[in-house]
Amino acid sequence: MLGGAVAVPAGDQGYKNRDDKAVPARRDVRQRNIEPFFTWENNMKLCISSSGKDIGARVDTAFGRAPFFLIIDTETMESEVVANAAAASGHGAGIGAAQIVSDKGADGVLSGFVGPNAFNALKASGIRIFEGISADDTVQEAVAAFKKGDYREKTAPSAKPGRGGGRGRREF
């Protein structure tokens, strides 16, 4: 210990140092009630950007330009396929996609990248945003990883507006 202090037990009150000054007891780390990042008591309708129409399809990492969205009930795993009509837009694909997702009643979005304009539109609609899926994953694998808590909720946009320049789909 610093300053030559020696900790000696002092019952439930903590410890006393050499000068008989009480030092508060530490909480046992094992007894702390740690809240999980996301509780599954509140299941959600999760929108996943997809390159195909079924749960076995590969995910699409670009939210606004994804050809399809799969809206999945994370409790029952029932899914609804939604074509992304905004994907062909020259400008504002992300905002258009956010409107489609909002109209379908999704509670959250899981994608590889959500642009800042789409991010703000989704947040304004009360939709939670999770990023980080890989193009190598299937939709089913992404949902399983989501349920394990592998993805964190985004609290701020990842990049500045206009990242894609409205010139269509960007290849990664």
Tens digits of residue pLDDT in 32-65: 444 444 444 458 899 999 999 999 999 999 999 9
More confident residue, 13 or 134: 134
- Listed in sequence order, the residues at least 6 apart from 32 whose beta carbon sits closer than 8 Å to its beta carbon are none
Look over the chain and give the mean of its residue pLDDT values, rounded to a whole number.
Answer: 78
Q: Tell whether the model's pLDDT for residue 19 goes beyond 80.
A: no
Mean pLDDT (whole number) for 94-123: 94
Confidence (pLDDT) at 39: 46
Q: Would residue 79 count as lying in a domain?
A: yes
Query: What is the span of the domain harbouring residue 121?
Result: 45-148
How many folded domains does the chain comprise? 1
The CA distance from 166 to 144, in Å, is 33
Q: Would residue 69 count as lying in a domain?
A: yes
Q: Which residues of 10-29 are buried (b: 16+ CB within 10 A; e: fewer)?
A: eeeeebbbeeeeeeeeeeee
**H or E, element range at 83:** strand 79-83
Q: Which two tokens stand for residue 94?
A: 């992300």
Q: Would residue 27 count as lying in a domain?
A: no
Q: Would residue 9 count as lying in a domain?
A: no
Confidence (pLDDT) at 43: 80
Q: Would residue 71 count as lying in a domain?
A: yes
Pairing of strands 45-50, 108-111: parallel
Domain CATH for 96: 3.30.420.130
